[in-house]
Chains A and B, each alone.
Chain A
Amino acid sequence: GENVEQHPSTLSVQEGDSAVIKCTYSDSASNYFPWYKQELGKGPQLIIDIRSNVGEKKDQRIAVTLNKTAKHFSLHITETQPEDSAVYFCAASKNNQGGKLIFGQGTELSVKP
């Protein structure tokens, strides 16, 4: 089955710097890659996603890139702010799987003011 590896497990940056989180997946049939943000004491919330027919997607300060050949995808956060501090999860899914997501292990991002 699918396996998703996520790195790093913790990341500390200064406010205003950029942050990059990387994930690799094992199943070449996976075609949907979302990123979730989990704030302390809350459930994860979708922040951006990308499909396999697209190489990059941006939404304001957040972008996701996908390299299908290498089977990896990354989350890029620019101009980080203290409110970006949270745990971020990547995930992968494919068609005919009932919407099932396989999640990475998570990255705890800390943005220091």
Chain B
Amino acid sequence: NAGVTQTPKFRILKIGQSMTLQCTQDMNHNYMYWYRQDPGMGLKLIYYSVGAGITDKGEVPNGYNVSRSTTEDFPLRLELAAPSQTSVYFCASSGGDTIYEQYFGPGTRLTVT
């Protein structure tokens, strides 16, 4: 199993541009999550999904959108990128016997200038 994969690894955006961060998991997990990690701030939950077709906001959803059309994929969309969205983004999934053990992807480092 590849686990949780994320693309791209790095990206530089100009202010106002849009992009989609891709996340795929091959563990048949129902639960998927998007976090952002800023220096010294820990991980903040942006959006999460408890299954295909179901998404909900986390702690810091403003400026982002998500969709969950399949169990495997959970893309994160940034519309009108702003410098405040410069961060490292992690996707995670959980499921099976324990929905609380989250498996993280390697992250996407995004810079908005």
Contact = CB atoms under 8 A, between A and B. Distances in A.
Nearest to A42: B106
Interface size class of B (residues with CB under 8 A): 20 to 34
B43 A44 contact: yes
Contact of A99 (B4, B35, B44, B99): B99
A52 interface: no
A43 B40 contact: no
Nearest to B93: A99
Interface string A29-40: 000101000000
A103 B42 contact: yes
Interface residues of A, number: 24
B104 A99 contact: no
Nearest to B106: A43
A9 interface: yes
Contacts of A103: 35, 42-44
Given A34-B101, A43-B106, A99-B99, A105 B48 contact: no
A98 B58 CA distance: 11
